[in-house]
Structures are given as C-alpha cells and as structure tokens.
Amino acid sequence: MAQKLVIIGAGMASGRLIEQLIDTDASAYDIILINAEPRGNYNRIMLSPVLSGDKTYKDIVTHSDEWYADNNITTYFGEAVTAVDRKNKTVSTASHKVAYDRLVIATGSAPIIIPVAGKELPGVMAYRDLDDVNSMLEACEKPAANAVVIGGGLLGLEAAAGLKQRGMEVTVLHIAPHLMERQLDPAAGHLLRKDLERRDINIHTEAYTKAILGNHKVDAVLLEDGTIYPADIVVMSVGIRPETRLATDMGLAVERGIVVDDNMRTSVDDIFAVGECIEHRDQLFGLVAPLYDQAKVLAKTLLGEEAVFSPVELSTKLKVTGCDLFSAGDFADADDREEIVFRDAVRGVYKRLILQNDVIIGAVMYGDTDDGGWFLQKIKSGEDISGIRDTLIFGPNFAGGAPVDPLAAVAALPLDAEICGCNGVSKGDILAAIEAGADGLDAVKAITKASTSCGTCAGLTAQVVQISLGDDFILPEAATLCKCTDYSHDDVRKLILSKGLKTIPQAMQDLQWKTSCGCITCRPALNYYMVCAWPGDYVDDGQSRYINERVHANIQKDGTYSVVPRMFGGITTPDELRAIADVADKFNVPTVKVTGGQRIDLLGIEKEDLPAIWYDLNAAGMMSGQAYAKGLRTVKTCVGSDHCRFGTQDSTGLGIKLEKSMWGAWSPHKFKLAVSGCPRNCAEATCKDLGIICVDSGYQVLVGGAAGMDLRETDLLAQVVTEDEAIELAEAFYQLYREGAQYLHRPYKWIAKVGLDWCKEQLVDDLENRAALSARFRHSQQFYQVDPWEQRASKGHEAYEYAPLADFTKEAAE
C-alpha cells in the first residue's frame, strides 16, 4: 500500500517535487498538499509581469485544480497548519487532521517588515504573493496615486517599475549607497539608477526610514533626515527570511532556516524540508534554480534513490524591460584580484570581469548582457583565461577570432552549459530530449521545461534546438506564408523580385500556389509585396485588401464606419474645424472623437454616406487621414520652438514635412511617427515606430517603439545635425522596413529579427545606401500620393462598393 506523504506549502519547490514524484513513480505515495494561501502553485517569478500588466494570473498558474485532481493529489488550500503531532504522526489544520508516513515542510519565506512606527497601517504591504499584487493593483486605480517602495533590491525595483507602468508616482527608498548592492557594483548600480530615473522613478539612496505616517491608513513615509514622501501605499521589499515558525514549534533543528542535510532531511528522520525555508551548510536560498535542484534531490531521496544537493553558481537578471543587467559570482575588490572593465557611456554599456589567478570569479554587466551566459560558464568551469585575456571582455564572438555568428557561439558551448537557469536545463539536457524524439521547439520546451519560467532564455533555447535539428528545424519566422504555399514570406518576396512577378495570379502560378485564388492570409500579403516591389506598374487589387483599406474607412462593430481626415502634424485651422462640424451636423454623426494620434475621428457613418462626406471634406481642403491603413498613419508633434519656452527645434514644422513626404505610403503594418521639440518628449516619440526628439545639437532619430499589445521603448538609430538629414534618414528607415519586413510585422518585430546593428549598417554607416533607399521611397510616393477619398467622392472610383445592387425596401410586392 502507498505511503502517505503530507506536504505543507504549495510553492514552486513543492510543485516541482510533486512533478518529479509523479513522473518517476506515481504509485509510491498518496500525496496530501496543504497550503495556507487559498490557491495552488503558480509561478511566483512572474508576479512582476502580472503587476505591470504584461501577464494575467491565469498565465502564470503552473498547476491547476484539474491537474491536482488528475494526479490524485488531495488538496487543502486556504488552510494553515495549526499543529503537527510527531509522536502520532498527524498534521492538523483548523478543519482537518491527516496522518502521514513522511512529511515535507515547504513553507517558503516571509517578507521582512522593518520595525518602524506605522508598519501595521492599512496600505503597508509586502511583495510576495498574488494577494499583495492585487492590493497594489487596487491602489493603482486611484489617479496619480503615490507609492513608496522600501528596498532597492531585485524585487523592490521590479515592483517599482510595475507600479510606474500602472500609472503611479513611485519613490524607491534604499538604505545602501547604490541600488542592488548585492548583485551590482557601484558603476552598474549608477547606470541602473539613471535608467530608472529616466522613467520618472524617484530614487533615494542612503534612506533611513524613521516612521510610516498616517491615522487610519498610510499617508506618508518619514526619513531620518526629515524628508517626507507622500504615499498611498508602502511596499516593503527589504528582504526575506525563511518561514520556520512551524518547524520551531515542532522542535526541529532551526538556525536561520530549517537545517537539512545533503538529502534534504531535517533533524528528524521522516521529516524533510525544501525551498526557501531551509538552511543547507550555512546557506539560505532565494532564487528558483537551487530550489528546483533541491526538489529533484528530495524526490529521489523519498523514492529511495541516492542524490546529493550541491548548490551551483548563480546569475541574476532583472525583469524590468529596458534595464538589461547581469551579475554572477563574486565581485568585491580585494588585493589579489584584478579586473577588466569596458565602458561605453553613450550606449550606457558597462562590463566588468573580476579575475583571480587567471580565472574569472565574477562578472557584472549592464546595458549589453548578451555574453552573460558565456562568462557564467567560464566562472563555473574555472577555466584558465590567460590565453584569451586580451579580447575576453568582448565575449565569445571575438575571443579566438571566431566569426560573428550567434549560432557559432551556441554551438561552441559545452554540454553542461546552463541554458535555462530557472529550471536547471543544460545544453546536454536539450540535446538528450531531441535524441529521445523531441522534434521541435515546443516539444523540447514541454519535455525539458527550458524557457518556461522567467523566459529570458527563450532565444538561446531556440538556438540550441536549431543547431541540433539543423535543416529540420524551422524557426517560427521562417514558417510558410500560409497553407496555400510552401514558401516563407521572405522567399516569396525574393522570388517576386527575381522572377519579375507583377500580378497576384502570376505569382500564384509561378510559385505553385496550392489553392486557386489564395486565402485571407496570403492575398493581402501578396498585394502588399506587389505594391512595394512594383510602384507605378502594379495595379492594386482591392479584393485582396481588408475591408478598411478597400473602402478607405474603419469598419466598426455595428458595420458602420469611422472617418478621420488628415491634419498634417496635428495642425488644423478654424475653417477645417468648421467643415468637420458641418459634416457632423449634416450626416448626423453620432460621435466625434479626438484620437490618440492628434486627429479628429467621425464615428458611426453608414457606408453609403461615405462618398458624400468625403466630398464635403475634400471641398474644405481635407483628404483621407488613412487611419485605416497598413501604411503611414500620423505624425504627432508638440508645438516646439514656435511657442514652447523649452523647444529646441521646430518640431511641428518637421512633423508636417515628414507627413507631407510620407502620406499615402503602404507598409507591412501601420507606421506611426512623432516629433518632440525637446527631451521632455511631449509628443511621446519614444513609443512610436519612428520618433524624433529634437535637441540643441540636432535630431535624435529613434526607431522600433510600440504601445499596443507589446509596450516597447524606441532605440536610438542615429543623431543627425540637420532637418534634411533627419527626413532622409526617416524615409530611408521606412523604405528599409517596407522592403524587408514580413507583412503584418511592426518595425519592432522586424528589428528583433534583423537586428538594430544591421539597420545601423544600412542606414547610418552607409550613406550611399541611405540616399538610395530614400530615393526609392520618393519614387514610389509619386504613384501613391493620391487621395483615395477624392477618387471615390468625385471620380466615381469603385462606386459599386458604396451603393446597393438593388433596393426592394420601397417596392410593394406583387
């Protein structure tokens, strides 16, 4: 008969333990899982993305109620253990009493609450579980609320970034002189601080909290130096301590944590402990990788196999978008240590390696962390680096003069190289999974769990799979365009050019399309590829366009349309506004709205009325704003040096020039621009496909931003001196994207594929190429800068779209 195994605590360590037990021998134990939190196991590492809104709770559940039921695990959730009777071997909660043969304690850790006055006020919270996140989200709903985060470590900063992203004013109080002092040295800490301050997070270092103020709820935080920060919530994130109260009550050996041996056994024979609550050889654990190792060891111990836990070197990454940092090993200064430092102040890159006797013992990187895994490997292996010391800091691509091929670096990794730190998956584990039959990335992820926790190693995992599967491996980007063809998007584009295919039917014929006239996926893509490849020659196929682009208005949920006239650079006139008002009156437009792109939207228009409305708008000098296009949308501007006391350049004028150059162009996806007159960035240029920020010395051209399903800040493409250069660079970038990106990929997705460095080579280093791209764009524009509204309102273009074939509503039946 199966033995009874009672596990106290449903966290990431015990979750992994249960998986290991079931995978190895599901019949060995009847498992009873007790958890004080009223839910099962979820991925606590991902609480920060839930807080920032990038993920939902549902996304991070690792074990659902069904999973427990399917695996015959008895669960008591929302029940705290009140007593353990070691003599009779029973565990009691308020409402249950269960017997055990063997007991596992996985009570995790508790946040440290600093002992200051006011710490018990409502509004003071920790950042440990979903309930904390929910409390924070509730606080975010109040507009312009203030949050004070006490503790500038990993978790505190992730909380601060998440709260900021949710719209709160955030101040971080940190007791040490620089942020994340346990993982970063002062230089990297300084870069991190600058990055966070750039996003408007206020940082106060060497801050000693004196009291939390408030009557019935928290109002403010008072520091020893007299500073007062107003606060609607206070998040305490100063550290954790192992949750050992239960173990102490039971009389187990407890130091800082519950003491366990190499097999995860406590001081009592049939009681074990795992996770953040333990202490192993004087060491405590707070990161997930060693917890998973412990779970593996404990599972083997429970099943009577030999296994020994020995902690490995760990690295740290911060999950705050745009703050790229990496640290591993030991990096304190000492007499017998040397260091190699690389700095690039403009790019905000800092790398430091700490050497002792020709071996790397520590690494800190900020701004460019691509080589972190390679250095970590060198730290773990203790390899003598004297032979490659000259170029060591430049990473694997440079060391030994190897070609700059990302795959070559991955191919060179030894089998025990760690790919996924969270789940302890090595390159060898992935290769073994493939050997055993895993035939793709998804299968490898399912079997090894690589890249399924924090996800930062997703690219590396894919590369390892790619190397070992070779030609059999198809990266998702290289998938076929649709089920009608075996060619990928990239292949189709190349063949359209090389074979001179100038119509959709010709392309389908020559490229052996498997359907007679394509499908909803390939037809719009082909139509765009033709538009881009053959400006002036290609006859646009309206029937291969989505409805909005076919009828030049945006369809709404009830089948009516919305109409947005163009206003170059967001500048309008009283006459234009009067004309818009007249149209709204004349056609009973139910809703008139100002859009996010600084334009006016008339919503709720019947399709049949569109040409007449356009006629009136045309008469007032306005044309289509193409708010429906996979193409140039709007150029948002601030008032710049014309009116603003901070403006450095004529941002409005530049915006108008850009929009006059670019309107009418089609592209793989929509393309939005903004021009800000100074770094205060009132036009929000840093989340656009292309943004320009004017500075005293010229124009910063930024690319690859997004503010939709994904939120991304732009990267600097280049800074140029004159307005003409800025316009040429913008045109050239747009053309490079138009010619290269797969249909329906926004620029940021395309840049992720080709690399920002490659874009710079094409557009910044090679001025001849930049000029040629810009010239190709202008050539194409001759044919596409035609107002589609005028064609339809005055020239009868595609009139059939807007009129019924027949109308029997007024005829009487015979």
Partner 1 sequence: MSDFIDIGAVDDIPIRAARIVKTNQGCIAVFRNAANKVFAIDDKCPHKGGPLSNGIQHGESITCPLHNWVFDLNSGQAQGVDEGRVKTYTTKIENGRIFMEKSALFVDVAAE
Instruction: State the nearest-atom distance from the C-beta of 517 to partner 1, in Å.
Output: 5
């690399």: which residue's tokens? 755
Stretch that binds partner 1, among 14-22, 336-344, 632-640, 795-803 (CB under 8 A): 795-803
Task: Give the residue with the Cβ less far from partner 1, 378 or 523.
Answer: 523
Residue 94 in contact with partner 1, rule: CB under 8 A:
no
b/e string for 588-623 if b means 16 or more Cβ within 10 A?
ebeeeeebebbbbbbbbbebebbbebbebbbebebb
Per-residue x/- track, 607-626, partner 1 (CB under 8 A):
x-------------------
Size of residue set near partner 1 by CB under 8 A: 32
Instruction: State the nearest-atom distance from the C-beta of 590 to partner 1, in Å.
Output: 18
> Nearest 5°: CA angle at 218, between 231 and 80?
115
Residue 523 in contact with partner 1, rule: CB under 8 A:
yes
| Structure token pair of residue 115 | 């002992």
- How many other CB atoms are there within 10 angstroms of residue 785's CB atom? 14
Give the type of residue at 52.
Answer: S
Task: Give the residue with the Cβ less far from partner 1, 482 or 727.
Answer: 482
| Structure token pair of residue 252 | 């187990």
Name which position in 1, 346, 436, 813 contacts partner 1 (CB under 8 A).
Answer: 813
Instruction: State the nearest-atom distance from the C-beta of 814 to partner 1, in Å.
Output: 8
Q: What is the distance between the alpha carbons of residues 253 and 247, in angstroms, rounded to a whole number?
A: 8
b/e string for 486-515 if b means 16 or more Cβ within 10 A?
ebbbeebbebbeeeebeebeebbeebebee
Task: Give the residue with the Cβ less far from partner 1, 229 or 789.
Answer: 789
Stretch that binds partner 1, among 155-163, 457-465, 551-559, 583-591 (CB under 8 A): 551-559
Residue 807 in contact with partner 1, rule: CB under 8 A:
yes
Task: Give the residue with the Cβ less far from partner 1, 610 or 662.
Answer: 610
**H/E stretch holding 675:** strand 671-676
Give the type of residue at 637.
Answer: T
Instruction: State the nearest-atom distance from the C-beta of 520 to partner 1, in Å.
Output: 4
| Structure token pair of residue 67 | 């999973």
Name which position in 3, 391, 543, 722 contacts partner 1 (CB under 8 A).
Answer: 543
With contact defined as beta carbons under 8 Å apart, do 278 and 309 qualify? no
Task: Give the residue with the Cβ less far from partner 1, 44 or 550.
Answer: 550
Q: Restricting to residues 553-592, which ones interact with partner 1 according to CB under 8 A?
A: 555, 557-559
Q: What is the distance between the alpha carbons of residues 161 and 47, in angstroms, rounded to a whole number?
A: 12
- Kindly report the backbone phi and psi dihedral angles of residue 256, in degrees, each rounded to the nearest multiple of 5, phi listed first: -75, -35
Stretch that binds partner 1, among 128-136, 509-517, 624-632, 682-690 (CB under 8 A): 509-517
Task: Give the residue with the Cβ less far from partner 1, 446 or 520.
Answer: 520
Name which position in 15, 153, 214, 518 contacts partner 1 (CB under 8 A).
Answer: 518
Give the type of residue at 526.
Answer: L
Give the type of residue at 341.
Answer: V
- How many other CB atoms are there within 10 angstroms of residue 384's CB atom? 13
Task: Give the residue with the Cβ less far from partner 1, 248 or 543.
Answer: 543
Instruction: State the nearest-atom distance from the C-beta of 513 to partner 1, in Å.
Output: 11
Name which position in 448, 544, 652, 719 contacts partner 1 (CB under 8 A).
Answer: 544
Residue 308 in contact with partner 1, rule: CB under 8 A:
no
Task: Give the residue with the Cβ less far from partner 1, 319 or 545.
Answer: 545
Q: What is the distance between the alpha carbons of residues 523 and 542, in angstroms, rounded to a whole number?
A: 10
Residue 517 in contact with partner 1, rule: CB under 8 A:
yes
- The contacts of residue 381 (CB under 8 Å, 6+ apart) are 414
- The contacts of residue 375 (CB under 8 Å, 6+ apart) are 328, 353, 360, 363, 365, 395
Task: Give the residue with the Cβ less far from partner 1, 594 or 813.
Answer: 813
Per-residue x/- track, 654-693, partner 1 (CB under 8 A):
----------------------------------------
How many CA atoms within 13 Å lie on the side-chain side of 172?
Answer: 32
Q: What is the distance between the alpha carbons of residues 538 and 532, in angstroms, rounded to a whole number?
A: 9
Binding site for partner 1 (CB under 8 A): 515-520, 523-524, 542-547, 550-551, 555, 557-559, 607, 800-801, 803-809, 813-814
